[in-house]
């Protein structure tokens, strides 16, 4: 019998909205979902590990891989490049695995164009003030980087109208339940 292909979920939302926190909890409860590890030219934050959080690379190497056609999607965000490896996604979807890409909006729209069956989920902050509070509270970026990230927020929220689902991350547990509900409705 032919292997049923897995589903591809794309999760986006502005920096500091809680994507990483939500995904960590989602994966703990649903170990069969797999999260793609992106390549990036951004510097690792303290505690981030190469091959776990990202594949950290430099601009020359990244652009070489772009030229080779290695990326399913890629984008520049706040001065750095980020991309998803095509081979990993194809291999795992063909094995029937359900995958999650946590990527920004330009990349998400590239995925939707190439793979219309993909499911786009946008995580919305309760307010822009709360988003800024969380981003600053995380204490991982300098002021210039925080300003750069806040600068992208309105464009990203505007872009959420192209998504299949929007979930507000106000109460974390409620947002997690909603996210699981969306994913289960697609998988089952």
Q: Which residues bind ligand ADP (CB under 6 A)?
A: 13, 15-21, 134, 137-138, 169, 172
The answer to whether residue 83 forms part of the interface with ligand 5GP (CB under 6 A) is yes
82 binds, among ligand ADP, ligand 5GP, none (CB under 5 to 8 A by kind): ligand 5GP
For the range 180-187, what are the long-range contacts, defined as Cβ-Cβ under 8 Å and sequence gap of 24 or more? 180/26, 180/29, 180/30, 182/119, 182/121, 183/9, 183/26, 183/30, 183/33, 183/98, 186/7, 186/9, 186/119, 187/7, 187/98
Chosen residue from 73, 112, 132, 165 binding ligand 5GP by CB under 6 A: 73
Q: Which is nearer to ligand 5GP, 2 or 60 (CB)?
A: 60
Instruction: Give bridge partners of residue 35 from the DSSP assignment.
Output: 100
Instruction: Give bridge partners of residue 8 from the DSSP assignment.
Output: 99
The answer to whether residue 132 forms part of the interface with ligand 5GP (CB under 6 A) is no
Considering only 57-65, 82-90, 114-122, 179-187, which stretch makes contact with ligand 5GP by CB under 6 A? 82-90
């Amino acid at each position: 019998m032919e292997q049923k292909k897995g589903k591809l979920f794309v999760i986006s939302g502005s920096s500091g909205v809680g994507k990483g926190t939500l995904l960590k909890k989602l994966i703990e409860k649903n170990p069969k979902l797999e999260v793609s590890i992106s390549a990036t030219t951004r510097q690792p934050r303290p505690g981030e590990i190469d091959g776990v959080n990202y594949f950290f690379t430099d601009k020359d190497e990244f652009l070489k891989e772009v030229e080779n056609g290695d990326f399913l999607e890629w984008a520049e965000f706040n001065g750095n490049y980020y991309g998803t490896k095509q081979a990993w996604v194809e291999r795992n979807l063909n094995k029937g695995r359900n995958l999650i890409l946590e990527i920004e909006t330009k990349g998400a729209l590239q995925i939707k164009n190439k793979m219309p069956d993909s499911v786009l989920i946008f995580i919305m902050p309760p307010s822009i003030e709360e988003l800024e509070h969380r981003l600053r509270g995380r204490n991982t970026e300098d002021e210039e980087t925080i300003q750069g990230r806040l600068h992208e927020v309105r464009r990203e929220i505007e872009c959420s109208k192209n998504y299949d689902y929007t979930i507000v991350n106000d109460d974390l547990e409620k947002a997690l339940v909603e996210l699981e509900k969306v994913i289960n409705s697609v998988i089952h």
